[in-house]
Amino acid sequence: MKKSSFSAKHSDKLLDQRNIKWISKIGVFAKKQTTFFGVGAGHLGGDFGVIKLLRKQGYTVKAVL
């Protein structure tokens, strides 16, 4: 996603900030019941990717194959 000039300029809003907001919401839903969360590939990687943010919060993240 970071190859195009548009996404590179706006990745903070398009990905990072959005991912950060999701983490607290994911925590609320996950505590209520077993839940599957599916996100687009662009939200997975990087320092502010959903995987890393969830692991920092103590969650176990596993790929579903």
Torsions phi, psi of 17, nearest 5? -65, -35
Distance (Å, whole) CA 28 – CA 24? 6
Is residue 44 one of the residues assigned to a domain?
Answer: yes
Containing structural domain, residue 21: 5-56
Short-list 14, 40, 24, 22, CA closest to 5: 14
Is residue 65 one of the residues assigned to a domain?
Answer: no
Number of domains comprising the chain? 1
Is residue 64 one of the residues assigned to a domain?
Answer: no
pLDDT tens per residue across all 65 residues of the chain:
555 555 666 667 778 889 999 998 998 998 899 888 888 888 998 899 999 999 999 998 888 78
* Cα distances (Å, whole numbers) of residue 45 to 3, 7, 22, 28: 14, 15, 15, 22
